[in-house]
Amino acid sequence: MVMFFGTMFSLSSTHWLGIWAGLEINLIGFLPVLVYQKSMLESESAVKYFIIQALGSSFLVFGSLFSYSLTFSWESLTQNFTSLPMGSLMLNLGLLMKMGIFPFHFWFPSVMAGLSWLSCLLLATWQKVAPIFLMAMILNAKLLYSLFLLLCFLSAGSSLMGGVGGMNQTQIRSLLAYSSIGHMGWILYASCFSETSMKIYFSIYVLISSCVFLSLWSLDSSNMKSLVSLSKSPSNGIFSFMIMLLSLGGLPPLLGFISKWTVISGSMGASPWGILFFIIIGSLMSLFYYLSLFFSEILALKLN
């Protein structure tokens, strides 16, 4: 309840101080969820998450102070960010850090590796809501083209890092963490060109991720070996779970591919083609390790 209130307070506020306060309320509500099983791994992940979020919040505060020093206004919706290069840069860095976008992605896999499946679900979905829509608000305002281009490059970097980082993972939590980093790259890229396609992509991402994490919660599987061993009993719905993973990877004609196609079509006219190419390459890498896992399951079924 506190998490929901904090996110809604942040999104409904028109002042940077109100936005910051809402994000902090959300953080206070989320920390007890991280450590509800009271394990050492959860405590370690909670401390890492708190430090990163506090650092991101400090960038937000500094950015809003820079903006206030020039405009004498805390209003977030009426500012012209072309005249506030340092303030807009600091604000964007704070939001990128909170989302785990490249090059601030380093904390995300290690934090998710120590959490329960419910906490992983909230970390990958609900905790992204406020930063993503605040980023879209900044991108809808007047922004320096150099900063706009930087965000496009960072979205491509996130997609590539999500693909490369997940290649040699044996833990499912780490694999899904890198997959989430890749999806955040797509969402940031969509925010740069079309808010509608961003909302569609994020909604589909939340839907598929919820199905995947809740399935893993019920299957009680934490690594690839245990997941493959579950294929010995096909009645447990492992095949349906693998289809959801392929959808998360963006395999045509599944739902995850439709969301990516929506982003591509929405940015077709104004997108730098080189950046779009690297984003697609990163997505293909992510799809590769999901297909590898899928074929491992198929082989295990045939052997049994």
pLDDT higher at 33 or 297: 33
Give the amino acid at 139. Answer: L
| pTM score, whole prediction | 0.89
Give the pLDDT confidence score for residue 180 in this predicted structure.
93
Residue 80 has pLDDT above 60, yes or no: no
> What pLDDT is attached to residue 129?
93
* Structural contact between residues 22 and 37, judged by C-beta atoms closer than 8 angstroms: no
Q: How many residues does the chain have?
A: 304
With a pLDDT cut of 70, the percent of the chain lying above it is 85
Q: Which of 132, 138, 53 is nearest to 89 (CA)?
A: 138
Q: pLDDT for 164-208, tens place per residue?
A: 988 877 788 888 999 999 999 999 999 888 888 999 999 999 999
Q: Specify the range with the lowest mean pLDDT, choosing from 27-31, 90-94, 296-300.
A: 296-300
Q: d(Cα 28, Cα 30) in Å, to the nearest integer?
A: 6
Mean pLDDT (whole number) for 56-74: 79
**pLDDT given at position 36:** 79
**Do 61 and 15 contact (CB within 8 A), yes or no?**
no
What is the rounded average pLDDT of the residues 204-230?
Answer: 78
127 touches 30 (CB < 8 A)? yes
Domain range annotation of the chain: 2-303
What's phi and psi for 89, nearest 5 deg? -65, -45
Give the ranges where 114-272 is alpha helix by DSSP (H): 117-124, 126-140, 145-165, 172-193, 195-219, 224-229, 238-249, 255-266
Q: What is the pLDDT of residue 260?
A: 92
Residues 130 and 104: their CA atoms lie apart, in Å, by: 17
Give pLDDT, residue 146: 78
Please name the residue that has the structure tokens 């992983």.
Answer: 120
pLDDT of 73 reads 64
Least confident of 23-27, 106-110, 235-239, 254-258: 235-239
Residue showing tokens 């809402």: 22
The predicted structure's pLDDT at residue 108 = 93
Per the prediction, the chain carries an average pLDDT of: 84
Model confidence band, residue 49 (pLDDT cutoffs 50, 70, 90): very high
